[in-house]
Amino acid sequence: MDKFYIFLSIMFLFLNCAGTQRQEIRLSLILSDSEETINKALSTLENGIEFAEVVRKYSSGPNIRGGGDVGYININDIQPFLREEALRLKIGNYSGIIIRGNEYYILLKTDERMMKVPINWQKIFLTSVLAVISFFILMLIIKSVKYHIHIRKYSIVLPDGSDLTVYSDVELSKESAKHYYSQGARIVVFEYCISIIFMTFKRPSNGYFIPPHESTLSKAIPYILISLFLGWWGFPWGPIYTLSALFTNLTGGKKILE
């Protein structure tokens, strides 16, 4: 099932980034901020005068010398109030007067085409990196949730005489604990940071029993997320405590016993 989801993710990635087609329209336009001028321009066009000549006489828009030609434009890049009229026009036809605030437009559609968009390898690479990172984080979150749902709690006495609640997915007794410690197991605590306007608190978590050679990252995820979302914005200690907590959690937590 996991392979199936990975396959779907890869297919979505390539369908999203692979070459597609886009519609482009070539337009010329007459632009004026005077209602009287634009009416004269339309009347002149209706009398059979060439569009380019009318542009040179009445337009204040772009490329007057080129007959108002603005070249090929992706339809998605055309202003919405012009797009509908541009799509409606047939090649060689001009529009009526289009009003937008204090501006008046007349469009001439000279050509349209479908252009193939090449595969964007840079987008594929960046999307792949983000997808892998997101998938990795999601798997860690799921693993962490499952761990905390099924976890067992133990109470141990630390060398200073204080009690510590310890989460462990293996049974802990004095004999088994000594055996695990001899093989490299340890008990660690993580840190989390919470800010409330001008107050910032950094607190330790309960203890976690970490078997030999096992990573702590999935167990640290809740405290990393709490600090990232709730810790950094407090002033002035929020960023400082958040970075400190993140460093502690990402480097394996703070060892209490080993």
CA atoms of 82 and 30, how far apart (whole Å): 12
Residue 110 in tokens: 């000279």
Q: What's the predicted TM-score (pTM) here?
A: 0.51
Q: Which of 53-62, 133-142, 230-239 has the lowest mean pLDDT?
A: 133-142
104 near 60, Cβ under 8 Å? Answer: no
pLDDT digits 0-9 by tens, 121-146: 777 777 777 777 777 777 777 877 77
65: left (phi over 0), alpha (psi -120 to 50) or beta: alpha
b (16+ CB within 10 A) / e for 176-189: ebeebeeeebbbbb
Q: What is the mean pLDDT of residues 144-159?
A: 79
Q: What is the pLDDT of residue 1?
A: 44
CA atoms of 50 and 44, how far apart (whole Å): 9
How many alpha carbons lie under 13 Å from residue 103 in its C-beta half-sphere? 11
Q: What is the pLDDT of residue 107?
A: 93
Band (pLDDT 50/70/90 cuts) for residue 19 is low
Mark out the alpha helices in the chain (DSSP H runs). 2-17, 35-46, 51-58, 80-88, 121-150, 174-182, 217-230, 237-250
- For 156, the 3-state DSSP assignment is strand
pLDDT digits 0-9 by tens, 211-226: 888 888 888 988 998 8
> What percent of the residues of the chain are helix, what percent strand, and what percent coil, each to the nearest 5?
45, 30, 25
Q: What is the mean pLDDT of residues 51-65?
A: 90
Pairing mode of beta strands 163-168, 199-210: parallel
Please report the domains of the chain, with CATH numbers, ordered by start residue: 20-117 (3.10.50.40), 151-257 (no CATH)
Q: What is the CA radius of gyration of the chain?
A: 33
Number of neighbours of residue 127 by Cβ within 10 angstroms: 16
Band (pLDDT 50/70/90 cuts) for residue 199 is confident
- For 41, the 3-state DSSP assignment is helix
Q: What is the mean pLDDT of residues 92-120?
A: 87
pLDDT of 17 higher than 60? no
CA atoms of 133 and 250, how far apart (whole Å): 16
